[in-house]
Amino acid sequence: MPDRARPSAAPLEETLSAAPPHSPWTDAYRRLARNRMARASLVFIGALALMALLAPLIAPYDPTLQDYSVVQTGPSWQHLFGTDALGRDQLSRVIYGARTSLTVGLFAQAIVLGLGLALGSLAALGGRRLDNLVMRCTDIMYAFPDLLFIILIAAVLGSNIYNIFLAIGLVHWTDTARLVRGQDREFDAVSGH
């Protein structure tokens, strides 16, 4: 049998060095494109957001309209989800309720992201003492039950929707801060800083 020549490593190195580096956005898109559940969830959330935006056009009834002739009826062709104890159409209330749910989710997550990025970066870049201070505050936040702390903050500040955004944001920033701090530390270790 004739000896087969081994391919040299040079063409492989040239191919690897010629490939453009992937950005984090490109990597995230590729992972999303491969994950069926993530794609299905994205479609579902997009449809939910579209439904919330078009609520006045697609809701069959005014969600606050009370009709005592149809109190607590089951699903029917007139009221697909039935009615409640005041005769209000449940489907219309669900469609309009999606607006509130998505608003709370988006604004609370914006607060979580802002606090988490700021405090995580401060811990990673601010020196050992500042890192210890921020991480001990994070540990203290982990000690409180989330729901109880949200209820406490909402009770102290008052129960309007803006305070709910703030309460959720003030409780859930810890994971983001730890993640950002860890990524900054990992970058420093790799880059030799």
Query: Mind listing the pLDDT tens digit for each residue in 45-61?
Result: 999 999 999 999 999 99
81 phi, psi to nearest 5 deg:
-105, 5
Distances (CA, A) of 170 to 38, 53, 72, 138, 146: 27, 28, 39, 11, 10
pLDDT per residue as tens digits for the range 24-83? 788 888 888 899 999 999 999 999 999 999 999 999 999 999 999 999 999 999 999 999
Neighbours of 181 (CB within 10 A): 22
pLDDT of residue 18: 54
Q: Is 63 left (phi over 0), alpha (psi -120 to 50) or beta?
A: alpha
Structure tokens that stand for 162 in this block: 């803006």
> Does the structure show a pLDDT above 70 at 186?
no
DSSP H helices, the chain, are 10-18, 24-34, 36-53, 55-58, 90-125, 128-143, 146-157, 161-172, 174-191
Question: pLDDT exceeding 90 applies to what percent of the chain?
Answer: 56
pLDDT of residue 16: 52
> Does the structure show a pLDDT above 60 at 140?
yes
